[in-house]
Every structure is written in C-alpha cells, then in structure tokens.
Amino acid sequence: MNHFDYVNGELCAEGVPLSRIAAEVGTPVYCYSTATLVHHYRVFAEAFASQKATICYAVKANANLAVIRTLAELGAGADVLSEGELVRALAAGVPADKIVFSGIGKSANEIALALDSGISQINIESEPELEAVNEIAVAKGLRAPIAIRVNPDIDPITHEKITTGMKENKFGIDFQDAPGLYQRAAALPGIEVVGTAVHIGSQLTDLAPFAEAFRLVAELVTELKAKGIAIRRVDLGGGLGIPYRDEVPPTPRAYAEMVEGATKGLDCEIVLEPGRLLVGNAGVLVTRVLYVKQGSSKTFVIVDAAMNDLMRPTLYDAYHEITPVRAPESGKTGKDMVADVVGPVCESGDYFAKDRPLTVLQSDDLLAIRSAGAYGAAMASGYNSRPLVAEVLVKDDAFAVIRPRQTHQEALAQERMPDWLGDAPDAAAMSLASKDVA
Ligand code: LLP
C-alpha cells in the first residue's frame, strides 16, 4: 500500500502532483511519501504490539535524515552499520539506547564511537572483532553490550547478492562455533553479553527460511541460558520482502505470529531491523524522457536518470514498475509500445527496464520509477560526474527538499589539485560549475 495515485490524470504523491515537484526541483528527483512511511511503520509496529519488541529501522535502506526522523518520531530505533550511519541516526534524533550496530568490519574508530555514544548493542561477527571491542571497552573502563551474530546456513531464496545467512557468505559466526565464542565473550572483562543476532538475507517472500533460522536461534538461546549465559535480547534482523511486481510477501502480521511462536518461552526482548519494508514502496524516482530512439531491433526510451541514481536493476536484475506521471489517454492501455528504458551513462548495464510494455512516450514526458525508496538514493554514486540527485519528502499537500541536488561546484570543491599541477582548477570553468544544475 502506498500513497502514489492518479488524481485527475496526474500521478501524485499524497496531495502533490509529481509534475509540480519536477517543475520546481528538476529531474531526476527522488520523492518520498510521509503517509506511506507512517502507514508501513504502524502496520509493522501493530503486528508486534503484543510482544516486547523494538523496531530498529535499518538505516542503510534510506539514510536521509528526514526519513530517519519521520520513523524515529513514530518510535523507531535504528540499525546502523557504519560510523556515518550512527552519526546520522543520532543527528536525526534516534535515542542511543535504541541503536544497534551491525556489520562485519567495524573499525576501531567506529567501535569507540559506538561505545562513547552509549548505543544499546554491538553485533559481533568474528572472534577478532570480539577481542577488538573488548580491548577498546577495557581502555575506556566500560563494558560493551554485545550480541553475537550467528550464521545458520539457511537459503533465504532470494537474489544471491543479498543472501547473508549461508555458509559461503561472509556474515556471522558459524552456528556450531557460537557456543564457544559466547563462553569466550562471557569471560572478557570489557564485554557484557546481552543477546544473539541473525539476519539471513533481504527481500524474502517466504516465511519458511525465517522460521527455520529463528528456530535454530531459539535453540541456541536455550542452550546458552542453560550454561549460565544470560541472553536477554534476540535480534532477528530484517529482510521481509515487498511487492515490486507480483510478489506476495508474507504480511507483517503473519511474520509477527511466526516470530512469536519461534521465540515463545525465551523471555527475551525482540529486536527487528526492517529496512526495505518501511521505505521501499514509500519512494519513487521521477525522471524525464530525453529522447525516444527507434533502433533496428528495439525501441529505447532514454531518460535523464541513470544507473548511478538507481543501481538495483543492473546490480540485482531488479524489477521496478515504471509508470507515466500523466495517466495514459482514455482508450489507451498504458502498454502500447515495448521498449528498453535506459539512462545516459556510458554502459550497456545502464537500464531500468528491458522489453517493457509502456504507454507511448515522447521527449519531455515524466516517468515514475516505483518502489525506489529503499536502496535507491542510499546506493547512488557520482559516476560519469553526474551530481547526486535531489530528494523530496511530501506530507499531505506540502513538499520539502530534504536533499538539494548536488551542484558541480560542490562536487569539484571536494577535490584538490596537487601543487605540481598548479594551484587551483581553472577559474572560468569553476564559475560555470557554480550554476545550479537543476
Ligand atoms: N539488518 C542487517 C544486518 C542487514 O544487513 C540488512 C540489509 C537489514 C537489516 C535490512 O534488510 P531489509 O529489511 O531492508 O531487507 N541493496 C540491496 C539490499 C541489501 C540489504 C543489505 N542488508 C537491494 O537493493 O536489494
């Protein structure tokens, strides 16, 4: 469910026509809907209302401060995996005691910052990382609250690049090694064992792999408790899928019931780390058609967004619905031509759709690439010296730019000329770069 609908033939985000945003902010532009964020959070939170659960939004899905704050105001904590995400979550107003730090390669700086800011849990992914956290905590005279992330070796049945809980994946501690590492952790002076963590993958559309993983985790917790290691928190990660096309993922309620069954009797607080589920369908990428090119075997719709703005189609063969911002004229099906929708970047992998039935398009038409709120802007790059695009948040009839489009001048200002190449970039070109690109 989302709040991007046609009103009087115009695709709107809540009460705001996307064409108005495009006219005022330029394209490409990411546009997020507050009502959709709120709806997704509430549905998920309500599903867990009867359980002692903390929802830690996985900031990696969409790290914009305004998005994080929108969710934090509803009660969300945060799951972060870098110093940058930690700083963002804190800056957005997430209380430190609702932040968990995931990720397999935390640097000493990141561990120190996590400890200094008093976050609730550091998820440990290797023995050397456990030792490093212990050492840094001891030096600070602290005990680091940790969970050990286990790898249950379960196929989550999703794209191989977003599978994280199988033996060949780099994540977590092999299941059979976990009890030994917990014994070690319990003996370290700088470590306070608080929990167990697991995250088997992303965009799961079946409950069975989750259920199997959580069953194993519950067994482990019972075993650890019997050995006197007082696990009080079980972090079940994120991963629940969303409909991009015709998938029918489990509902949050079905997921919550399964979690309740799997963790019954453990007497533990549950931590959940949804990312995509909260933000994925709360965002679209609005792009303008530059040209329609008739090739000898294909038609190409060349748009002004590109793979650097939204990597998912080329990286994961991901399907994103593409809809015209102006509704197709009556009598048209909206699927009157078949084309590849491609961007201006110099790679054949720069596409958003292949052989896609579309409404007949021409230069200047606006398109909305749907379900782009998760892992869209968050994964964007400046490849081909394309400035990072603007992001807009809509609330009812209002919208605000929550990240202005990067200017060429800002991009150039991040670089330095070594003294053997002269003092400064060419002044005339720099003044050209100062012009807003929108
Ligand atoms: N917790 C941990 C430890 C994670 O690694 C992730 C995602 C999440 C939570 C949130 O998972 P979600 O609920 O969003 O599925 N870029 C890829 C997805 C990468 C997911 C990485 N980890 C994509 O665009 O599909």
Q: What pLDDT was estimated at residue 436?
A: 56
- Residue ranges of the chain with pLDDT lower than 70? 331, 333, 433-438
Q: What pLDDT was estimated at residue 162?
A: 82
Ligand 1 atom nearest the C-alpha of 102 is 3
Separation of CA 275 and ligand 1 centre (Å): 6
44 in contact with ligand 1, CB cutoff 6 A: no
In this structure, what token pair is assigned to residue 154? 């379960």
Q: Which sequence positions are flagged as catalytic?
A: 346
User: pLDDT, tens digit, for every residue of 128-166?
Assistant: 999 999 999 999 999 999 999 999 888 888 888 888 888
Ligand 1 atom nearest the C-alpha of 202 is 15
DSSP of 244-256: SSS--PPPHHHHH
Q: What pLDDT was estimated at residue 428?
A: 78
Hey, is 172 helix, strand or coil?
coil
Average pLDDT taken over every residue of the chain: 95
Separation of CA 171 and ligand 1 centre (Å): 12
Ligand 1 atom nearest the C-alpha of 237 is 1
- Per cent of the chain over pLDDT 90 is 88
The whole-model pTM stands at 0.96
Q: Whose CA is nearest to atom 6 of ligand 1?
A: 238
**Residue 53, strand partner residues:** 270
In this structure, what token pair is assigned to residue 357? 């039935």
| Strand 10-13 versus strand 16-17 pairing type | antiparallel
Nearest 5°: the CA angle 377, 22, 403 is 40
271 in contact with ligand 1, CB cutoff 6 A: no
| CA proximity to 382, closest of 415, 338, 356 | 415
| CA proximity to 188, closest of 245, 253, 252, 142 | 142
Q: What pLDDT was estimated at residue 434?
A: 63
104 in contact with ligand 1, CB cutoff 6 A: no
Q: What pLDDT was estimated at residue 437?
A: 52
Separation of CA 262 and ligand 1 centre (Å): 22
Q: What pLDDT was estimated at residue 331?
A: 66
